[in-house]
Structure 1
């Protein structure tokens, strides 16, 4: 589904015919998976913040507070001007549901194709894929909350655990590499990297980090079992 989003669709009717369906299946109508609930149960008594590159809203659906989440790459629920002529995003959930009802032969009717209310040009998903990704006011507010949380945690000199879940090398500069840098520069910071195939830990931080090369669902269950016995 993700790869299909980069297909060179022949027209906007086909583009939105696809993306409205992906938004429905991958976000709007997607129920929360048990794994996310298990993760939050594991962290329920801790002060936490979630930095995420996911676009499906699973943490919010699991009950995590929105003000404790920073989704850096956008989501399946908002659209923007394709050329970012202004820094604002628009909630498109209602529109996507209407498109889903009207779609025929993988296309939506021409009259439903969204246009930018400022420049009149094409709209697109608010998902980071090029230099035109819109970072609106809500994005910067979330960034600040994450920065404030991190700064407070580091200044307190208390132990800070970075729990990294399934972060590979697609966009490593957002979470994976910055987390390694935080560990390397701060003795009170530790890292648990959960990744089925890419859990390798650099030698420079191996005293403060552990990589678990196993299915995250099973690992979270194991952690629950261990902690319940303490």
Structure 2
């Protein structure tokens, strides 16, 4: 992204104007936002924390490592405890999250995100204005599941990281469901076993209520770093709601593929480039 170009400047100006006239802002955040904040899953960060797993299995990134069929639960949880720890507990939110909060803090806003790294809450966003649709690295659930409840994992994860040796955790730390005794698993949406607990449903209802309260008003749908893996959660609804509401504006900031259907192009603002740079340009 060349910030000196007229196209970028015009798009930033248009986005600033859309923010000012909006009655409400709905932020839709995908993995590109956390990548802009430095939460990368490959390269030096991955190599620094998972050198032993890389040496053994030649992994190239955390995604690959997370799906690997480890031979035993003690090795599986040795990997996953580190994955959780470094992507949920041992990190500070990137500047882009704090800048985004500055933009929306005094506005009527809501955030829907497919990210599971807790960055919004760590940066100070109001928990009552957040909806994490795909789960949370900080939660476990029964692998069956035998009941619709999730469990905080921080204390056990920290022990797993501290006490593991040779890519293995102590056997007694393997998490099991307190109800049925089956193995626990991550509360991450990957199939129909994902647990939508009471907290998930409360957040979902708050999101739906927010949308209903602002129907027909001037709304800015601000999409940040949303890719093509789960477009039905954020991207497609934002497009549809913009098309249905002449007062709405759809803004997309993404490193690549910042696109919009031709039906809503007159209501759209598209910025291709680093999200952090674009958001920082909006700060007075």
Normalising to structure 1: TM-score of the pair? Answer: 0.94
The residue number in structure 2 matching 1:198 is 257
Is residue 214 from structure 1 mapped to residue 273 from structure 2 by the alignment? yes
Cα-to-partner distance string for 1:66-85 (whole Å, 9 max, x where unaligned): 11100000111010011111
Q: Report how far residue 44 of structure 1 moved.
A: 2.2
The residue number in structure 2 matching 1:13 is 74
Worse-superposed segment, 134-143 or 114-123:
114-123
Q: Secondary structure in 1 aligned to 2:221?
A: strand
The residue number in structure 2 matching 1:160 is 219
Q: Identify the structure with the greater helix proportion.
A: 2
The residue number in structure 1 matching 2:196 is 135
Q: Report how far residue 34 of structure 1 moved.
A: 1.0
The residue number in structure 2 matching 1:2 is 63
Q: 2:241 aligns with which of 161, 177, 182?
A: 182
Q: Report how far residue 25 of structure 1 moved.
A: 0.3
For these two proteins, the number of residue pairs brought into alignment is: 223
The residue number in structure 2 matching 1:145 is 206
Pairing 1:89-128 to 2, within 5 Å after superposition: 89-128=150-189
Q: Using CA pairs under 8 Å that are at least 6 residues apart, name the structure with larger relative contact order, 1 or 2.
A: 2
The residue number in structure 2 matching 1:170 is 229
**Aligned mates of 1:181, 1:208 — CA distance in 2:** 12
RMSD between superposed Cα atoms in Å: 1.0
**Aligned mates of 2:97, 2:208 — CA distance in 1:** 23
The residue number in structure 1 matching 2:12 is none
Normalising to structure 2: TM-score of the pair? Answer: 0.77
Worse-superposed segment, 88-97 or 215-224:
215-224
Q: Secondary structure in 2 aligned to 1:206?
A: helix
User: Residues 28 and 76 of structure 1 are in contact (CA less than 8 Å); yes or no, is this contact kept in structure 2?
Assistant: no
User: Residues 183 and 208 of structure 1 are in contact (CA less than 8 Å); yes or no, is this contact kept in structure 2?
Assistant: yes
Q: Report how far residue 14 of structure 1 moved.
A: 1.2
Task: For structure 1, list consecutive stretches of 5 or more residues without a partner in the other structure.
Answer: none
Q: Report how far residue 158 of structure 1 moved.
A: 2.3
